[in-house]
Amino acid sequence: MSEPFASETAESASSSDERFGQGNKNPLFRLLQLVALAAVLGLLALLVWRFFAANRGAELVGAIRAGKRPVAPAFTLPIIWTNSPTWPQPLETLLTQRTLALHRLRGQPVVLNFWASWCIPCKQEAPRLNAAAHAHAGTVVFLGIDVQDLTSDAHAFLRRHKVTYASLRDNAGATYDGYGLTGVPETYWIDARGRIVAHFSGPVSSAQLDDGIRQATAAR
């Protein structure tokens, strides 16, 4: 009595194995497997890359604190705000493009400010940055980098505070990591040779802005 049952069980198992084998050979199934594997590998690569970028950023901040004047990490980012009457006039043509590369500003001192629309201290320092940009109009380039933000919210912030210098968007967070940020706002002062001469984490005061600009313009 047990033999027919055993035979049926074996046939059922064999049929299941065949179906499973056919599923593995199905082109769509194989494609989905490859897509899933690529997604996992891509995520792993991103995590590894962010880890090493964060380490480089920490080293950069350490070098600035030690007075070594490291070269500012390069970036090319999308332009989200072109209202820049405080910029040196020859540089305004750079804002007619979709992106801006930091190296294109070489030859001018730069005040690089990382910010976000949801950041309360950023709202507090915005008038001071604007005032300093006007005070040094035509001689110092102020540049904002919006991070971890929605473009619509960023535009609303820039309009509300009547920002008069260009701003870019750090979409993937690469610049954030590369500069060793721990939050926003943070500000970097870069001399005409592209070296970072000062850095401050938190909302800057008018005196701090002026002191950083003095260092950037005096650097040789």
44-92 confidence digits (pLDDT tens): 544 444 544 457 788 999 999 999 999 999 999 999 999 999 999 999 9
Start-to-end Cα distance in the chain: 98
Q: How many CA atoms lie within 13 A of 12 on its CB side?
A: 6
Query: Which residue would you say has higher pLDDT here, 22 or 59?
Result: 59
Give residue 161's pLDDT. Answer: 97
Q: Which domains does the chain show, CATH number per domain?
A: 69-218 (3.40.30.10)
Q: Is the Cβ–Cβ distance between 119 and 148 less than 8 Å?
A: no
Rounded to 10 degrees, what is the CA torsion of 72, 155, 54, 129? Answer: 50
Q: Is the Cβ–Cβ distance between 154 and 187 less than 8 Å?
A: no
Give residue 219's pLDDT. Answer: 80
DSSP β-ladder status, 186-190 and 110-115: antiparallel
Going from the C-alpha of 198 to that of each of 54, 62, 84, 123, the distances in angstroms are: 19, 11, 23, 22
Query: Which residue would you say has higher pLDDT here, 28 or 41?
Result: 28
Dmax (CA) of the chain: 100
Angle at 212 between CA 201 and CA 172, to 5 degrees: 45
Rounded to 10 degrees, what is the CA torsion of 63, 65, 71, 77? Answer: 110
Give mean pLDDT, residues 33-48.
Answer: 59
Give residue 43's pLDDT. Answer: 56
pTM as predicted? 0.76
Least confident of 48-57, 151-160, 175-184: 48-57
Give residue 25's pLDDT. Answer: 65
